[in-house]
Chains A and B, each alone.
Chain A
Amino acid sequence: MFGIDPVTLAAALIAASTPILLAAIGELVVEKSGVLNLGVEGMMIMGAICGFIACVTTGSPWLGFVAGAAGGAALSLIFGVLTQFLLSNQVATGLALTLFGLGMSALMGEDYTGINPPLTPKLFPEALRQLEVVGPILFGHDLIVYLSVALVAAVAWGLARTRTGLIIRAVGENHDAAHSLGYKVIRIRILAILFGGACAGLGGAYLSLVRVPSWTEGMTAGAGWIALAIVVFASWRPWRALIGAYLFGGIAALQLRLQAAQIDIPVALLDASPYIVTIIVLVIISTDRTRAALNAPAALGRVFHASG
């Protein structure tokens, strides 16, 4: 169809999805703990620039990814302190985080435009990657791609099967009850927020180091918001977040290829298609109210203040 090879499309889809998947799985844990952090876009772009600078300076992509995660986490700590200790409105603070992150990253990245970062190596040997069909799709990626899928598995298992996961869910369900049982609501939420920030930062670093790979201002272009939408789409279930991210990645990869293939569709419409599709998916998901309500953390976005 339109001269697009499904195998390369599938491989591109996975790479295109990884930044959003990382950000979404982090935000999923944050929301499960009862906190709505709308600053994903800001944390992603901070991760993108921190990772880029570290990678270019040290020459090591791995240090770049670590720095990206650290940058996202550092920004999320501001959110954590403001919302958990100073009881600020989570929606407003999340927006502030995005606005600040976009500005801060632009400031930090002044001298880094137009540079190519060192390449991130592929994980598997050439021989495996050359296999028909499965080679490019299954073995053609770098470590972070496999890490992102492993992270989904770990979060799915951790939330459902471990005591830590149970405590996170309990705090997100009813923070007053959790407090009266002696759980440290604020501490647990701060840790969840930091985890979410690190994941978003890592996703951002993947964008600037692998996906693009270069630094431009505002390069996340709404990826953080789409990650937030994917959490809703997934009804707070980790494996469904993977499906959502890959679905979105598929559309992004497809529309780029359609643009390259010079199909007779306005470029503007193709540019807008990932956002339009995300909105449509959100609408479809929200029509099923009872299921969404059952999985939504009951204390999501509510301010916790222990009286007495």
Chain B
Amino acid sequence: MKKIRVIARLDIKNEFVIKGIHLEGLRKVGNPNILAKKYYEEGIDEIIFMDAVAAYYDRNSLSEIIERACRDVFIPITVGGGIRTIEDIQKALNSGADKVAINTQAIHRPEFITEASEVFGSQCIVSSIVAKQIAENSWEAYIDNGREPTGIDVLEWAKKVESLGAGEIMLTSIDKEGTKKGFDLALNQAVSSIVSIPIIASGGMKCSRDAIVLLENSQIDAVAMASTLHYKLETIEAIKHQLSENNIKVRV
């Protein structure tokens, strides 16, 4: 069985790691470079940096932070927020990132996923899907970091991005994000049962128990967490230990 990846998600605004609830009401929680290095040393498997306001303000400003992080952190790094062009991706990779997460631009121009995966390989292209529940077993995709509804059905969109060439999906639940009430199980089950590319579940994790419930009941490949780590609710070591105790394979 494949190892489940334990991922730290750092949402960034104006050079600070921030955390909100439902992607709103953002509060500063620390310095991205210090936190990235700390989580790396504590054994995180991967780090995702998301520019929380890039898509909204039409800019892309993470490269300095990424460049600095990549000098201290020797695990895979994904960068998202404001990625609009092939040049944006090239810039992120040149800074030391391994993958880029794309949401808004893919909704505006789905063929961007295909173009990007043809140039950089699908392993490099993470489709970031931000979902808000609208009915039982039905979710709508949002863009601009969860601000704008699109009218697009998340399940249809997930299948579409897979066929367009995305290598992974990062699935964020707006409803659960920042709430520390656990992952949106139905959402993660629904998406992971219809696509065969790896899925990173994001939004809602408080502690290892939430990850265990999710992983035991879905085909999810990776769990992203923010509050758990930023607010020191549980250590990375303890999370991995708990996963192992529950027969979920992780890197130790």
Q: Do A and B bind each other?
A: no
Interface, chain A (partner B; CB < 8 A): none
Interface, chain B (partner A; CB < 8 A): none
